[in-house]
Amino acid sequence: MIDVKNLHKSFGALQVLRGIDLHVDRGDVVSIIGPSGSGKSTLLRSINLLETATSGEIWVDSKLITRPDPSLHPGENLQEITKAHYQDPYALRRKVGMVFQHFNLFPHKTVLENMIYAPVTVLKLPREQAVEKARALLESVGMLEKIDVYPGTLSGGQTQRVAIARALAMEPDVMLFDEPTSALDPEMVKEVLDVIKRLAGSGMTMLLVTHEMGFAREVSDRICFLDEGRLIEDAPPEIFFSTPKSERARIFLDKVL
Amino acid sequence: MQLDFSIIFNYIPEFVSALGVTLKVTVCSLLLGLVFSVPLSLFKISGIKPLEWFAALYTSIFRGVPLMAQVFMMYFGVPLVLPVKFTAFTAGTLVFSMNSAAYISESMRGGIRAIDKGQYEASMALGVRYGAMMKDIILPQAIKSVMPSLVNEFISLLKNTTLIASIGLVDILRVGQLIQSRTYRAFEPFFAISVFYYVLVMALSFLGKLLERWVNKSDRR
Ligand SMILES: Nc1ncnc2c1ncn2[C@@H]1O[C@H](COP(=O)(O)OP(=O)(O)O)[C@@H](O)[C@H]1O
Ligand SMILES: [Mg+2]
């Protein structure tokens, strides 16, 4: 489903990602954890092209979404590879949903308008159909009764649940979550995690950046530990949390557990 | 000198049609100015140097040249070098709207800048294209912060439109001059006109406040 190959990303002189290899199968739930500034957001954002990779490749659903990296195709014709496999950002983003730490609902649109805007504008879904789908999704995240209000009137937890439903309205194949509960008051974390957990249980392919270790352990098939732009552990949660291989991960876990 | 305001009442029909001219020029200029200001502000934030230079040059020209000179240039000057012919109304409206665009685009630029980058990211992540994102997500939010300056612009336009009397349009000010030349009275007509503009501007300020509140309805808790 997702294949990240030797991904590098620099902002000017700052090397943020230093050669990431990551493979995510359809239906996998993978949590990415690591210290602040280690490049977790950058990795996630590269996968739906909110950041452009410096080198390396990203494949989503057997389509190449970055430029081909010559070092990964010695002796091959790069143009041919592009022609055969390249997919433009718009087609990609329709398949990849993203949920942000700060929600990013459109404040000038009601909950319903937030929900149907992209399905109608991007997918060209008839309005009635989009509304119907929006209602069903809002129902499933427990937000149907707020369908006609503006986001400014919602609590953080409610806002994030709507944001998740909005991403799902595009019927993505993959969902990316970037610290979806980090901006929430503690009492609202659970309502959002419950929604994410249900989604994980439904077979959605998910990549989740989180500081909620207990939650990561519970829902993930694998934990990826990122440190200074390198993916230094990639293991099932039982193994990662009990016997981390690296000193770095041990120190990190000591701090957060 | 004996003041006699009753002479004003003999000119009611002239005042009414002049008010129509004033309002027509003002409203058309504001709306056109708003329309022109959109591409202009998008140029200003485009990051594409030639577009940014064009927009900056445009703005500085309309700010740097006296308005009266611009009006004369458009009405008398331009038709001599270009194959166009303007009525006084068209020339005036064009100059005023191009002026407003320069002014409005500045606050629009500020309004766009002030929008959280999360709004762009959420739009992109949903697969929305640049044009639709600007039209549906970014500009509607930017307009809110433009609202106060839009009201200001409306008011200064209303006052500046008195300049079109100089190229022969009969606006409210021109009616005053007319009364003066016919009756040799100056205080009454110009006093009446001053009151008239004052009331109009106050009414507009009030309407502006209402409009602002209406536009901001989504922020209400
Ligand atoms: N657009 C950017 N320009 C410059 N530096 C950036 C940008 N985005 C992120 N960074 C830097 O990249 C590093 C990694 O950021 P990030 O991926 O957000 O880390 P994390 O999500 O793990 O906390 C940080 O040092 C951050 O300051
Ligand atoms: Mg981050």
Q: Looking at residue B209, what is its pLDDT?
A: 84
Q: What confidence tens digit (pLDDT) does each residue in B10-27 have?
A: 888 888 898 889 899 999
Q: Work out the pLDDT band at B218, boundaries 50, 70, 90.
A: low
Share of chain A above pLDDT 70, in %: 100
Q: Regarding beta strands A222-227 and A29-33, do their DSSP bridges make them parallel or antiparallel, or are they unpaired?
A: parallel
Which residue, among A115, A121, A173, would best test binding to B if mutated, counting the most B CBs under 10 Å from its CB?
A: A121
Mind listing the pLDDT tens digit for each residue in B34-43?
Answer: 999 999 999 9
pLDDT of residue A74: 86
Cβ neighbours of residue B32 under 8 Å, at least 6 residues apart? Answer: B93, B94, B97, B100, B101
Residue B88, CA distances (Å) to A251, B91, B101, B178 in order: 78, 5, 20, 18
List of residues 6+ apart from B170 with CB closer than 8 A: B14, B17, B18, B21, B178
pLDDT digits (tens, 9 = 90+) for B128-139: 999 999 999 999
Using a CB-CB cut-off of 8 Å, the residues of chain B touching A90 are 127, 129
Token pair recorded at residue A130:
């989009």
Q: Which of B127, B136, B220 sits opposite A93 (nearest CB)?
A: B127
A-chain residues within 8 Å CB-CB of B119?
A: 104, 106
A102 touches chain B (CB under 8 A): yes
Using a CB cutoff of 5 Å, list residues around ligand 2, an ion: A 41
What pTM was estimated for this model as a whole?
A: 0.86
The mean pLDDT value for A124-147 works out to 96
Task: Give the mean model confidence (pLDDT) for residues A158-163.
Answer: 96
Of the candidates A137, A183, A178, the residue with the CA atom closest to the CA atom of residue A156: A183
CA-CA-CA-CA torsion sign (A107, A112, A115, A117)? negative
Report the pLDDT value the prediction gives residue A177, as an integer from 0 to 100. Answer: 97
DSSP chain A: -EEEEEEEEEETTEEEEEEEEEEE-TT-EEEEE--TTSSHHHHHHHHTTSS--SEEEEEETTEE-SPPPGGGSTTS-HHHHHHHHB--HHHHHHHEEEE-TT----TTS-HHHHHHHHHHHTS---HHHHHHHHHHHHHHTT-GGGTTS-GGGS-HHHHHHHHHHHHHTT--SEEEEESTTTTS-HHHHHHHHHHHHHHHHTT-EEEEE-S-HHHHHHH-SEEEEEETTEEEEEE-HHHHHHS-SSHHHHHHHHHH-
- Can you give the pLDDT at residue B165? 85
* Residue B31 CB-half CA count within 13 A: 6
> Contact, A207 vs A2, CB < 8 A?
yes
Asked if the Cβ–Cβ distance from A108 to B121 is below 8 Å, we say no
**What pLDDT is stored for residue A150 in this prediction?**
95
Q: How many residues make up chain A in this entry? A: 257
pLDDT for B221 equals 43
The alpha carbon of A246 and the centre of ligand 1 are apart by a number of angstroms equal to 23
The amino acid at residue B59 is T
Of the given ranges (A156-170, B39-53, B176-190), which has the lowest mean pLDDT?
B176-190
Give mean pLDDT, residues A1-30: 94
pLDDT at A125 over 60: yes
pLDDT at A76 over 50: yes
Closest atom of ligand 1 to CA, residue A179: 21
Average pLDDT over residues A26-32: 95
Average pLDDT, chain A: 93
Smallest Cα distance from B201 to chain A, Å = 29
CB pairs under 8 A between A and B: 71
| DSSP bridge partners of A207 | A30, A176
Closest-CA distance, B209 to chain A, in angstroms, reads 19
Measured distance CA(A14)–CA(A114) in Å, rounded: 36
Q: Judge whether A217 and A27 are in contact, CB under 8 Å.
A: no
Contact indicator for B84, B19 with CB cutoff of 8 Å: no
Q: Which residue has the higher pLDDT, B109 or B220?
A: B109
Q: What is the distance in A from the centroid of ligand 2 to the CA of A179?
A: 7
Residue A223: name the closest of A15, A7, A28 by CA: A28
Token pair, residue B188, equals: 């009454």
Query: Which residues does residue A99 pair with via DSSP β-bridges, in sequence order?
Result: A177
| Ligand 1: residue whose CA is nearest its atom 7 | A11
């592009």: which residue's tokens? Answer: A82
Average pLDDT over residues A181-188: 93
pLDDT above 60: residue B220: no
**In degrees, to the nearest 5, what angle opens at C-alpha B93 toward C-alphas B90 and B97?**
140
Nearest to B128 among A107, A109, A122 (CB): A122
Q: How far apart are CA A63 and CA A48, in angstroms?
A: 12
Q: Confirm or reject contact between B4 and chain A (CB < 8 A).
A: no
